Amino acid sequence: MIECRHISLRNHNTICIVKNIFYAIIFLFIYLLSPYTIEAHTDIPHFVFYPKVVSQGEPLMLQVDDLGSFSVKKITFGGVPVSIFKYQAKPTGLVGIDLQKKPGVYVVRLELSNGEFVFDSIEVKKKTVKVAPYNIPTKLGGNSLESQKKLIDTLAEENSIFKNIKTSKKRFWISGFVSPLTNPVVIDEFGYLRKISSFVMTHKGVDYLAKEGTKVMTTNDGIVRVVGDYRNYGKTIIIDHGLGVLSFYLHLSETKVKKGDFVLAGQEIGLSGQTGYAESPHLHFSIRIYGVSVDPVKFLELFK
């Protein structure tokens, strides 16, 4: 309370009111300029995770919110640098959680341009993996020991080719990713184990229901890096979307692009089929983030 001294009965009320107003203005001015007040009323940059709960084999989107006048210098997940791009006007990064990544809590670090750091963490949960019996198609020799060995050897050869595909440091896409089919229906999920006699194979994509000759579209803008015909994967197209993101389209009956083409989201690139390791017509669709295969259905959900 501000004390008012008595000067005269007539002027007492007037002087009190003026002094109270004067001191109130001074206190308000000091309060607003106080560094503690500024800190209390300024939003602090922080991470927002999509999804909020992530499991082995899933993609993770990191976004920086309430950045204000700051700028982002670097983001790391578990000590590994994450490529940064703008999405929905916010600094964003994509992380592929490997199916074999150890479950547990991982630290996410944001380094600001002024040298300050912001830390957060997210838990990677263990994925429940299903095992189901599977057969080698008759056209590839059936389940004989000889065809099993040939399958293992040729898969290793084909995977080594796909493993060495480099992606551009430039991001080719602007808007979100879309489904490669008009009406996608999953008939084989991501990440389960296909048991063939004495060995198992991990299904690192999803199989969509698609009758022979169904139009297949690219999931987003990018450059065609691979157009080929392989023993196991059949007619295949691989598209580089930049910043480590690759999309795979397998078992096609026909391809309609060539290596080096720049394609746009939703553009027709081929027709579904049953070439290679396929017993019936369908589309096998995969997404990799810097070499890590992730559930493509979960990936597409990030952009809805």
The Cα 106–Cα 143 span in angstroms is: 42
Q: What is the pLDDT of residues 281-290, one digit of tens each?
A: 999 999 999 9
Closest CA to 205 of 288, 302, 262: 288
Q: Cα–Cα distances in Å, from 214 out to 59, 148, 202, 253, 280? A: 27, 30, 26, 9, 13
Q: What percent of the chain lies above the pLDDT cut of 90?
A: 73
| Burial classification of residue 102, based on how many CB atoms lie within 10 Å of its CB (0-12 exposed, 13-18 middle, 19 or more buried) | exposed
> In this structure, are residues 273 and 284 in contact, taking their beta carbons and an 8 Å threshold?
no
Closest CA to 100 of 55, 37, 161: 55
Local confidence band at 47 (pLDDT 50, 70, 90 cut-offs): very high
What is the distance of C-alpha 104 from the center of its chain? 19
Q: Is 66 left (phi over 0), alpha (psi -120 to 50) or beta?
A: left
Which single residue is written with the structure tokens 């490529």? Answer: 83
Q: What is the pLDDT of residues 14-33, one digit of tens each?
A: 544 544 455 445 444 444 44
Say what the pLDDT of residue 24 is.
47
Q: What is the pLDDT of residues 179-231, one digit of tens each?
A: 999 999 999 999 999 998 778 899 999 999 999 999 999 999 999 999 999 99
Say what the pLDDT of residue 25 is.
54
Say what the pLDDT of residue 274 is.
97
| Burial classification of residue 197, based on how many CB atoms lie within 10 Å of its CB (0-12 exposed, 13-18 middle, 19 or more buried) | middle
The Cα 155–Cα 233 span in angstroms is: 9
How many other C-beta atoms are found inside a 10 Å radius of the C-beta of residue 280?
A: 13
The Cα 118–Cα 135 span in angstroms is: 50
Q: What is the pLDDT of residues 129-159, one digit of tens each?
A: 999 998 888 888 888 888 888 988 999 999 9
The Cα 65–Cα 78 span in angstroms is: 20
